[in-house]
Amino acid sequence: MRWSKTVTVVGAHAEGEVGRVITGGVIDIPGKTMLEKMVYLNSEDDSIRRFTLFEPRGSAQMSVNLLLPPTRPEADAGFIVMQPDAAHSMSGSNAMCVATVLLETGMLPMREPETKVVLDTPAGLVDAVATCRDGKVEKVTLDLYPSFVEHLAHPLEVEGYGTLEVDVAYGGVYFAMVDAKAVGFAITPAEARDMVDLGMRITTAAKAQIEVAHPEIPALNAIGYTMFCGREAAPGGNLKGGTVIHPGRMDRSPCGTGTAARLAQLHARGELEVGQRVTQLSTIDSRFDAEIVGLTTVGNRPAVLPRISGRAWIYGLYQLGVDPSDPYPLGYTMSDTWGPGVAAE
């Protein structure tokens, strides 16, 4: 065997959503901050993203997290979420995977019953508290960035559907949030294909028709995903959330940044108070527990301070490589898996 490149990866998932973690083979990425490093990946050199996510080494149904030295002295580690379309500023489920991998592999020391890990991300610092017992991370609790609502009941024209209303909220990424019941969904696995079809059209329409402007981080001024929002049928039932992400699939977890955005949405609508705990279920009924722990402002916007808890598990160890004669050193995509309009790369 002869490889011209070797990357070590730990396989992990948080509540069903795959978030692999690169632990070796990449020393650093140019940039003074994590945000600059993310922009570099997206605008200058995305070869590590394509190498780890495109077929045959990766797939559309995952994220890969790039561990990097922190750029801020108060942080323990830095990471950037890489997904099939681009590198992104933050993901709650991926932060849970990263914290679990850092501690369970011994990259950072584990202290029981709790270990605090400060993560440096393109959107800012994230405090992660891991509940630990017998060498295992049993739960990761994230204090995420201030989350806020940008628009409530914004009309949107969606191709093939007509007009619907969306709320737009920021939880580390901007979400177009749709009442699932109003568009006929109960957020179940059997509806996944139909939710993806409509959700991708909603995202496309929202990007074109709705302006967003983060008061402090202009590089994040784009709607990233659509979340279908619902509740269990029983009185006082749990929240349900189905997030549609590129290239056209459902997030298997309840979506951490989406849950943060939903806390902001519910508070803005007068449906959730500070300190009130809720559980959000995913399409496969995995769960994140969440609460608003305080109020703040972002620029001139009222915002909430979200806290999200969930579980992650390590499921594999990998070394990814490329033979110099391999005709697909950075992989490829095809529309059968990656969605309509995707050209082979």
Helix (H) or strand (E) holding 198: helix 192-209
Question: pLDDT at position 341, please?
Answer: 61
Question: pLDDT at position 344, please?
Answer: 44
Average pLDDT over residues 190-214: 96
Q: d(Cα 140, Cα 132) in Å, to the nearest integer?
A: 9
Hey, what amino acid is at 3? W
Report pLDDT digits (tens) over 128-174. 999 999 999 999 999 998 999 999 999 999 999 999 999 999 998 89
Exactly one of 63, 91, 286, 309 is catalytic; which is it?
91
Whether 180 contacts 228, CB under 8 Å: yes
218 cis-preceded (ω within 30 degrees of 0): no
Average pLDDT, the chain: 95
Phi-psi bin for 269: left (phi > 0), alpha (psi -120 to 50), beta? Answer: alpha
* Tokens, residue 39: 């922009």
Residues 6+ apart with CB under 8 A from 318: 8, 9, 10, 11, 20
Look at residue 218 and tell me whether its pLDDT is greater than 90: no
Cα-trace Rg, the chain: 19
Cβ-count burial of 258 within 10 angstroms (0-12 exposed, 13-18 middle, 19+ buried)? buried
Check if 63 is active-site: no
324 cis-preceded (ω within 30 degrees of 0): no
* Tokens, residue 115: 């270990």
Q: d(Cα 316, Cα 313) in Å, to the nearest integer?
A: 10
* Tokens, residue 18: 């795959």
Pairing state between β 174-179 and 223-231: parallel
Percent of the chain with pLDDT over 90: 89
* Tokens, residue 345: 């790369």
Report pLDDT digits (tens) over 66-88. 999 999 999 999 999 999 999 99
- For tokens 């001024």, the residue is 221
pTM recorded for the entire structure? 0.93
Q: d(Cα 192, Cα 170) in Å, to the nearest integer?
A: 24
Q: Is the four-CA dihedral 296, 82, 5, 18 of positive or negative sign?
A: positive
Percent of the chain with pLDDT over 70: 98
- Ordered domains of the chain (ranges, CATH): 5-143+313-338 (3.10.310.10), 148-307 (3.10.310.10)
CA distance to 2, 156, 199, 210, per residue, from 207 (Å): 45, 10, 12, 6
The pLDDT-based confidence of 106 (bands split at 50, 70, 90) is: very high
Average pLDDT over residues 257-262: 96
Report pLDDT digits (tens) over 291-320. 999 999 999 999 999 999 999 999 999 999
CA distance to 114, 121, 203, 308, 341, per residue, from 141 (Å): 10, 16, 29, 6, 38
Which of 96, 97, 121 has the alpha carbon at shortest distance from 31? 121
Residue 287, Cβ neighbours under 10 Å: how many? 17
Q: d(Cα 249, Cα 337) in Å, to the nearest integer?
A: 10
Q: d(Cα 86, Cα 298) in Å, to the nearest integer?
A: 26
Question: pLDDT at position 342, please?
Answer: 60
Average pLDDT over residues 58-71: 96
